[in-house]
């Protein structure tokens, strides 16, 4: 798997602007895409442990987007020329120090948040100790689905993460081990 490094210009981080069908329209500055509410791509992963519990994290207070909010997604912008799967693997490594495969689950257009984005949602089973990036993650814990359902609508929770979790739980994954195959 090739990992495409983030392209950063004098303008900032470059991403692919996409349309309502997730087709690439061109390359734009991420900050401008957010400011103008242009659609772009975000790769996310919902992590489980071998017992099937789901990772919940609280974003760092100095995080640029949704500081101090809870989330179930680990992820970030898909770099120019990068696939959702490549971005998900890169983000797992960067944010959690985890070198595990991420299994593609689904995409959806999220209209809640900083700007409209296409989320590529993945699942990963992590059995190794986590090494969270403190600039991204202030706290984390593993919760059962029942525990998570009880807290997801309380307190500050990233809106896209709440929606991704609902779609993920409806997909019936049930914590099956990750195969690393798309759509499998």
Q: How many CB atoms are located within 10 Å of the residue 172 CB?
A: 7
Tokens of 51: 């017992």
The full set of domains in the chain, from first to last, is: 14-170 (3.90.79.10)
pLDDT at 123: 97
Residue 6: band (very low, low, confident or very high) from pLDDT cuts 50, 70, 90: low
Residues 67-121 have pLDDT tens digits of: 899 999 999 999 999 999 999 999 999 999 999 999 999 999 999 888 899 999 9
Q: Is 51 helix (H, G, I), strand (E, B) or coil?
A: coil
- How confident is the model at residue 184, as a pLDDT? 33
Most trustworthy range by pLDDT among 6-10, 33-37, 151-155: 33-37
81: left (phi over 0), alpha (psi -120 to 50) or beta: left
pLDDT > 90 in the chain, percent: 73
- The candidate with the shortest Cα–Cα distance to 77, out of 19, 30, 25, is 30
Return the pLDDT at 182.
Answer: 36
> Nearest CA to 29 among 115, 113, 144?
115
DSSP SS3 for 145: helix
Express each pLDDT in 26-63 by its tens digit: 999 999 999 999 999 999 999 999 999 999 999 998 88
pTM above 0.75, yes or no: yes
| Chain Cα centroid distance, residue 114 | 14
The pLDDT assigned to 107 comes to: 96
| pLDDT at residue 177, rounded to an integer | 38
For position 10, what pLDDT does the model report? 55
Q: Which residues contact 120 (CB under 8 A, 6 or more apart)?
A: 41, 42, 43, 44, 78, 84, 85, 87, 88, 104, 107
Give the model confidence (pLDDT) of 123-139 as tens digits. 999 999 999 999 999 99
């Amino acid at each position: 798997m090739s990992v495409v490094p983030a392209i950063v210009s004098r303008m900032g981080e470059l991403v692919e602007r996409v349309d309502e069908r997730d087709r690439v329209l061109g390359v734009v500055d991420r900050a401008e895409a957010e400011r103008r509410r242009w659609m772009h791509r975000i790769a996310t992963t919902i992590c489980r442990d071998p017992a099937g519990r789901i990772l919940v994290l609280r974003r760092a207070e100095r995080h640029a987007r949704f500081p101090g909010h809870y989330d179930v997604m680990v992820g970030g912008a898909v770099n120019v020329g990068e696939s959702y799967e490549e971005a998900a693997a890169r983000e797992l490594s960067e944010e959690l120090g985890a070198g595990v495969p991420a299994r593609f689950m689904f995409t959806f257009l999220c209209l809640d948040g900083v700007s409209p984005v296409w989320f590529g949602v993945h699942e990963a089973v992590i059995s190794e100790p986590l090494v969270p990036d403190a600039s991204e993650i202030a706290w984390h814990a593993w919760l059962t689905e029942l525990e998570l359902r009880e807290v997801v609508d309380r307190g500050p929770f990233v809106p896209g993460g709440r929606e991704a979790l609902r779609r993920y739980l409806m997909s019936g994954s049930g914590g099956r081990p990750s195969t690393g195959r798309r759509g499998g």
